[in-house]
Structure 1
Amino acid sequence: MGTFSYKKSNKLSKIAMLISSVLGLSAFSAVAAEVVDEKITVTGSRFDRTAEQQLTVINTIEREEIARLNPKSVADVLEILPGVSVSRNGGAGQSTSISLRGSNSNHVLVLVDGVKVGSATLGTVSFNTLSPENIERIEVLKGPRASVWGSDAIGGVIQIFTRQLKGGEWFAGAEYGNNDYIRGSFGAGLTHGEGSTTLSVNHEQSEGYDVYNGAEVENDDDGYKRSAISLKGSQQINSNWQALWNGQYDKGNTQYDDIYASGSADESDYENYLWNLATQYSRDQFISKLAVSQSRDHNENFRGDDASVPVSIFETKRNQVNWSNQYLAANELTFTGGIDWSNESVQGDYAQDERDLFGAYALVQKQWSKLLAEVAVRYDDVENIDSEVSYNASLAYQFNEQWRLAATTGTAFKAPTFNDLYWPGSGNPDLISETAESYDLTLNFTAKDVRAYISVFQNKIDNLIAWAPTGEKDDYGWDIWKPANINEAEIRGVELSANYQLFNLDHQLGYTYLDAENVQTGEQLVGRSENEFNYMLSYSWEQFDLLANYHYQGKRYAGNDEFFDATHKVDLSIGYQLDDAWSLRLKANNLFDEEIISAQNYFSPGREFFLSVSYQAF
């Protein structure tokens, strides 16, 4: 999990933190007003579920809220959620890591419209390549869900759904801001018989700023540009059969700093895509869906001012077949199950450059009056590595219309990447999968105008892959280091979320307390904040709307006995509706110009302003 340092906090302070969080949740029960809309999610089981049917913590962010946030990256959207921590190597176009509940960034499974994305060489996802303007909804599932989705879901699952419009609806927008930021976007919905298709296009670019503050590196602006096209549609063939399709294409360029001033690469081109074709059969209480998809992650690194520097190319291609089924039996009994197959291939001089992964899963959910139970089990076989059996068991009790208590336990795993196994000269083909076992206890409260929960969780991760000396020497007498399954970590925490209305204002707050430690040393893990807090306030009056967001991130260990200071960041968004279709929005990021460092010597942008105009026809 990286380098480790400062000692654990006093246990009494942890208990006090938990008690105060519980009291805070109880205080919200005194608030009352209009009804909160029901949320439908699919990530927990691959099929539509209401909040009452979910036994894991799932946060959702809808298109309307994304528009008011006016984010410059997907990380800007995710950061407002409790249990989600973001580390940036600069601004919107730079490398970004997302951690769920203190897990590693490569312990998060990321899906776009049900298709797994990311690099099989690095094991991570380039969030900086995804355009927020092409997103309809994001679902973030907390805790392991390998029993449904397979490898990578140790910390949780992030599923991104692309824009979807009805026939005849369309939108267009333009934006300008600091560092010569420019954005243009367009989308339209087309009706064809008993179906529709949405096309969304977005382009944005920025001259950027100098993201790295090292003493001997390039003192130049590090800009970026990215373009994205997404297509999403469905066609009702008859009363039982439906065809579905979606695709996304992302292309762009990112400039960064050669931090060692070695004359190596300082610029990167990427070209990623995915497509998915599916058919769904529905009859009475039975639904069956078969999907065939492909995703590619392609990246080229080079020296921007020296064409003689060779290009390094990293490419992952993933072919996938998914068959999912759901049957609603009598007496509130639901059966879900399916089969997943995928083939991952990489480009490069690897001893093995492709592998097959096979998984089969089954989930049963049963309701007895106020008691809801769920059991899920999955078998995965990863070629040339090992096989894993994962499970989830959950139980929830509905005390009354407002209060519900849910308990969950489960296991998860992360298969080694191609770099871990086969990187020329340093891979270790004897690696096994990282494994995890977790526990979660969540108290939910829902009233007329408030939805809140408090979740206490623990996640123990074994066989973590880290670099270690092999005991051998190279030709020059230096120790040979290779990846090995040597580390263990235990992560405990409290997560609190509340959405409520008070004094005609909408309030949304999230708080996470985290104790993430190295089991062997008792020291805290690098990059984790013990305390992280987000508060968002919004208000609408006639043609105006206002959104203010405050984010606090506590100090984090940075390695080498150094710490990143705690940071306070305030963003402000003001919208004005000119008429039914036209609107203006002014966005201020980091309003008080806070110096924010989330990775060593990498600075986030200072104060930024953006002005956008948009048109939406319904």
Structure 2
Amino acid sequence: MGTKPSKIALLISGVFSLTALPTVAAESNQDVTIDETITVTGTRFDRSTEQQLTVINTIERSEIERLNPKSIVDVLENLPGVSVTRNGGAAQASSVSIRGTSSDHALIIVDGVKIGSATLGTANLSTISPENIERIEVLKGPRASVWGSDAIGGVIQIFTRQLKSDEWYVGAEYGSNDYVRGSAGIGLEHGQGSSTLAINHERSNGYDVYNGVEAENDADGYDRTSLSVKGSQSLNEQWQALWNGQYDKGNTQYDDIYGFGGDDEFDFANYLWTLGTQYSAEHFNSKLTISQSRDYNEYFRGDSVAVNVSEFETKRKQVNWSNQYLVGNGLNLSGGIDWSNEAVLGDYAQTDRDLVGVYLLAEKQWDKLLAEVAVRYDDVESVDSETTYNLGLAYQFDAQWRLAVTTGTAFKAPTFNDLYYPNLGSPDLLSETSENYDITLNYQRNDVQAYISVFKNDIENLIDWAWTGELDSNGYPIWKPANISDAEILGAEFFTKFSLFGLEHQLAYTYLDTEDKATEEKLTGRSENEVNYSLSYRWNDFDLLANYHYQGKRYAGYKQYLDAYHQLDLGVGYQVSDNWQLRLKANNVFDEDIVSVTNYNSPGRELFFSVSYSAL
């Protein structure tokens, strides 16, 4: 039958042969701990974990504080099925891959608003400070049937800080490479509503991130400031007004892979805002929002470069109307309309486009059986239209065990660079598309919970550079983007969380088998094996945390691999009083040489000390 089918059969048989695996229970008894986590990314409305058919990992504020990350990717790297590559430290360019898909196959949302560049097709997560984040939800697998374009590998939704009235905090931190941070936030009451204001500023002198060219031997520092506001106001028993805003501004120094030399750096100034209203009744909920986001970068390069200043800007306007109707007898219906306009700065043949999507989702519960059907139609101006779907079934064997089987399709529309970049764009490109299959076995009992998920993702019409068959005036081949590649991703994802001997344990393992159908080689930047293990302990006013990460060797192309590495981070916190807390964090304790992108170095061993006062 060939190599691939045998591997699929082996993985699937492994799922059904497990006898003590773990996550979600839908029934209650004395031996079961019900997971009270509420997520919204799967359906756009509040859902408990036992109502979800897709795998969703959630990182709450308390865990973010203990991790003490310097970037969002530091948080995401601890999750199963999520892989990170970086061109250096916290503020350098990075990419996030969900279950082996490309970095531009993850839809990035902040408080319900899509962010990122419409020219590159990705979002720069390094510009967002973790200090202003309340929660992160990472949905695995395709969800274009609810969210539209980009959600081939999954969806990452970031929620900003939200404090109750009269709650407030201040904090400061100092660490390696002259890292300095100050942050503060406060919750304000106004009648039947409240708002949260938060600010964070941090800077670092950095280090030399690139070891490939002598001309780039300089420290690459950064500074960034983040402001956020989030609030709501009850107008009466049914109606509520909502608003939120985020502003991120700063400067990042970097090293150019082509070795032009000089002080390479860029300024960024990104924002988003949302105004909305929500109606809530016993069986019906409706939410209407208007929003806008901006992604702006201004690059400054060395004097040896012909064009040493470049501007890139995307502005995205959005209108979203989402509805939920609880029909009864276990039937829930959700649906809505999305409209957005993407506009870019530059000498493009077309500088803006409209995207319109309509979706409908139905969920039905029959005793131990849960079913889901979702379908969506999207029209991308001047490109094409796509219809995507999700189908899912879950069966609750008993209070501890549940099996879910899902399938779905997704797409990613070509970027403005793909379509219209001056002299290099290909305006006839089609959207990249995918078809995914997933089997997930969940277990939960007392303080043990876990899951194992086996998945297969076939991606077609991938956009890559291809020779047009023509030569330029100098006799050189002309290359342009084209729909020439297909990829197959087969994988398994395991996660468990449990208590043993007074210690809290989290263990995650991800296996990936990827293939570029055009070259019959592995996809670049992916590891076959990845392991995360977290050990935490609380004793009186102390809390201890150890995080271990193993990254298997990555394929770098041209039959070359990047070395595997091990990373151990340690942290200790001390609660001085009800309000004061001290925290010490050591990253990469063994000072491993970590390279996830050729010639780009990690910062090595780092040490950070923070102090905070919270009236929460």
Which TM-score band (shorter chain)? over 0.9
Conserved in 2, the CA contact under 8 Å of 1:265 and 1:301? no
1:227 matched to which residue of 2?
A: 225
1:255 matched to which residue of 2?
A: 253
Q: Distance in 1 between matches of 2:409 and 2:180?
A: 45
1:568 matched to which residue of 2?
A: 566
Conserved in 2, the CA contact under 8 Å of 1:217 and 1:257? no
Among 299, 312, 315, the alignment partner of 2:313 is 315
Q: Distance in 1 between matches of 2:306 and 2:170?
A: 41
AA at the equivalent of 2:606: E
Q: Secondary structure at the match of 1:458?
A: strand
The reply on whether 1:535 has 2:529 as its aligned counterpart is no
Q: Between the two proteins, what is the percent identity of the paired residues?
A: 67
Among 157, 180, 183, the alignment partner of 1:182 is 180
AA at the equivalent of 1:26: A
Among 439, 447, 450, the alignment partner of 1:449 is 447
Quickly say closer, same or farther: Cα 1:591–1:34, change in 2 above 3 A.
Answer: farther
Shift of 1:19: 6.7
The reply on whether 1:394 has 2:388 as its aligned counterpart is no
Among 473, 485, 488, the alignment partner of 1:487 is 485
Shift of 1:605: 1.1
Q: Secondary structure at the match of 1:506?
A: strand
Conserved in 2, the CA contact under 8 Å of 1:25 and 1:453? no
Q: Distance in 2 between matches of 1:486 and 1:553?
A: 30
1:363-400, Cα deviation, whole Å (9 max, x unpaired): 00000010000100000000000000000000010000
Runs of 5+ consecutive residues of structure 1 not aligned to the other structure = 1-7
Q: Secondary structure at the match of 2:20?
A: helix
Q: Secondary structure at the match of 1:26?
A: coil
Among 425, 430, 433, the alignment partner of 2:431 is 433
Quickly say closer, same or farther: Cα 1:142–1:299, change in 2 above 3 A.
Answer: same
Among 140, 143, 146, the alignment partner of 1:145 is 143
Q: Secondary structure at the match of 2:50?
A: helix
Q: What value does the CA root-mean-square deviation take over the aligned residues?
A: 2.0
Q: Secondary structure at the match of 1:66?
A: helix
Q: Distance in 2 between matches of 1:510 and 1:336?
A: 33
AA at the equivalent of 2:553: K
The correspondence of residues 236-251 of structure 1 with structure 2, limited to 5 A, is 236-251=234-249
Q: Distance in 2 between matches of 1:583 and 1:302?
A: 40
The reply on whether 1:411 has 2:405 as its aligned counterpart is no
The reply on whether 1:203 has 2:201 as its aligned counterpart is yes
Q: Distance in 1 between matches of 2:99 and 2:281?
A: 39
Shift of 1:133: 0.4
Quickly say closer, same or farther: Cα 1:14–1:150, change in 2 above 3 A.
Answer: closer
Conserved in 1, the CA contact under 8 Å of 2:223 and 2:250? yes
Conserved in 2, the CA contact under 8 Å of 1:338 and 1:360? yes
Quickly say closer, same or farther: Cα 1:325–1:14, change in 2 above 3 A.
Answer: closer
1:350 matched to which residue of 2?
A: 348
The reply on whether 1:26 has 2:26 as its aligned counterpart is no
1:209-237, Cα deviation, whole Å (9 max, x unpaired): 00001033311100111110010000011
Q: Distance in 1 between matches of 2:261 and 2:57?
A: 44
1:493-543, Cα deviation, whole Å (9 max, x unpaired): 000011111111111111100011112443211111000010001111100
Shift of 1:330: 1.3
Q: Size of the alignment, in residue pairs?
A: 609
Q: Distance in 1 between matches of 2:371 and 2:397?
A: 15
Q: Distance in 2 between matches of 1:21 and 1:533?
A: 19
Q: Distance in 2 between matches of 1:212 and 1:543?
A: 41
Q: Distance in 2 between matches of 1:461 and 1:566?
A: 27
Shift of 1:23: 6.7
AA at the equivalent of 1:429: P
AA at the equivalent of 1:55: L
AA at the equivalent of 2:394: A
Q: Distance in 1 between matches of 2:305 and 2:82?
A: 40
Runs of 5+ consecutive residues of structure 2 not aligned to the other structure = 24-29
1:593 matched to which residue of 2?
A: 591
Conserved in 2, the CA contact under 8 Å of 1:332 and 1:367? yes
Conserved in 1, the CA contact under 8 Å of 2:33 and 2:444? no
AA at the equivalent of 1:455: S
AA at the equivalent of 1:531: N
1:287-329, Cα deviation, whole Å (9 max, x unpaired): 0000000000000000368999641000000000000000001
Quickly say closer, same or farther: Cα 1:12–1:566, change in 2 above 3 A.
Answer: farther
Q: Secondary structure at the match of 2:74?
A: helix
Conserved in 2, the CA contact under 8 Å of 1:442 and 1:455? yes
1:295 matched to which residue of 2?
A: 293
The reply on whether 1:45 has 2:43 as its aligned counterpart is yes
Q: Secondary structure at the match of 1:421?
A: helix
Q: Distance in 1 between matches of 2:439 and 2:4?
A: 22
Among 56, 59, 72, the alignment partner of 2:57 is 59
1:4 matched to which residue of 2?
A: none
Shift of 1:22: 7.0
2:494 matched to which residue of 1?
A: 496
Give the TM-score taking structure 2 as reference length: 0.96
Q: Distance in 1 between matches of 2:407 and 2:22?
A: 28
Q: Secondary structure at the match of 2:120?
A: coil
Quickly say closer, same or farther: Cα 1:566–1:540, change in 2 above 3 A.
Answer: same
1:341 matched to which residue of 2?
A: 339
2:27 matched to which residue of 1?
A: none
Conserved in 1, the CA contact under 8 Å of 2:216 and 2:262? no
Quickly say closer, same or farther: Cα 1:98–1:165, change in 2 above 3 A.
Answer: same
Give the TM-score taking structure 1 as reference length: 0.96
1:47-98, Cα deviation, whole Å (9 max, x unpaired): 0001111010000000000000000000000010000000000000100000
